[in-house]
Amino acid sequence: MSTYTAIKLVARPAPGPVKPEIFEVVQAEVPQAGPGEILVKQTHMSLDPAMLGWMSPDTESYIPPVELGAVMRSSGIGEVVQSNHPDFAVGDRVMGMMGWTEYYLGTGQGLNKVQPGLDAETVLSVFALPGLTATQGFFHVGHPKAGETIVVSGAAGSVGSIVGQLGKAEGLRVIGVAGDDEKCSWLVDELGFDGAINYKTDDLDAKLAELAPQGIDIYFENTGGPIQHAVFHRMNAHGRIVVCGMIADYGKAEPDAGPSWIPIIKKRLTIQGFTMPDHLAEAPALT
């Protein structure tokens, strides 16, 4: 009997970088599909910042935490290798939450078929959680208007890079914030951003004044930290802040202090937290 590898979460992460000791690599026999089940061999897996939240013990979050001893949660793409389900055939490519495992066994609930010709990178970015998150957050929370200025933190990441491209397509001035010069060059030269800021080496206040002289109408927040405070004070009246992620705070015992409430009142700002599960009914199918 052949075996496969899976990785389980066996402990909650402590503040700071995630340690390999919280995971356990296990070997198991490749299962057989039972009645109404399919067996999928996973070929590609997406590693997303949201996983840091899924590892935590927070039961009040938008999605339950991964249980200790369970396979770590993640989305991926695979090929159906066994099927006893009328809706799936051997050879079908599917995507969905399959976890850190070489094989997925289940009824197929929550999986979507992948159209022929779509490459895995496109599916797991544009058509999976990153792309859906970017689209719903940008349009349904940000309410963009042509001619406005948007600043995107974490702009070289999967969500941020898509938000920026959507902004350009809608006629906005797009400023991206990233962590090194190579990423900043990619944002401007390859994706067409109007400007980019290296938050590790640039003077944030000076660069924002240079690149967004008319102020900022939308801030798509993926990171938190000093970027948030610098952008906050340059928001225009009636500006919108889309709070999608707080990467800078995920591994901290105590989060950074939030923004001052006074400018929120003076500038009549709208600040809205956002998670993709609230909008799944609006997401297009892959088939």
Per residue in 230-251, pLDDT (tens digit) is 999 899 999 999 999 887 666 6
| 186-237 pLDDT, tens digit each | 999 999 999 999 999 999 999 999 999 999 999 999 988 889 889 998 999 9
Regarding whether 210 and 183 lie in a shared domain, the answer is yes
Regarding whether 116 and 13 lie in a shared domain, the answer is yes
CATH number of the domain residue 31 falls in: 3.90.180.10
123, 145, 166 - which closes a domain? 123
Q: For residue 184, what pLDDT band results from cuts at 50, 70 and 90?
A: very high
φ/ψ region of 36 (left if φ > 0, alpha if ψ in -120 to 50, else beta) reads left
Beta carbons of 61 and 95 less than 8 angstroms apart: no
Domain of 15, in residue numbers:
3-123
- Give the C-alpha separation, 243 to 273, whole Å: 5
Closest by Cα among 272, 277, 283 to 63: 277
**How many domains, in total, are found in the chain?**
2
Regarding whether 32 and 49 lie in a shared domain, the answer is yes
| 112-168 pLDDT, tens digit each | 999 888 999 889 988 888 898 999 999 999 999 999 999 999 999 999 999 999 999
3-class state of residue 84 by DSSP? coil
What pLDDT was estimated at residue 286?
46
Buried b (16+ CB within 10 A) or exposed e, 71-84: bbbbbbbbebebbe
Lookup: tokens for 17: 């970088």
Q: What is the pTM of this model?
A: 0.84
Question: Residue 181: which residues within 8 A CB-CB, separation 6 or more?
Answer: 198, 201
Regarding whether 160 and 108 lie in a shared domain, the answer is no
Regarding whether 135 and 106 lie in a shared domain, the answer is no
- Give the C-alpha separation, 278 to 285, whole Å: 16
- Give the C-alpha separation, 23 to 21, whole Å: 5
CATH number of the domain residue 164 falls in: 3.40.50.720
Regarding whether 114 and 12 lie in a shared domain, the answer is yes
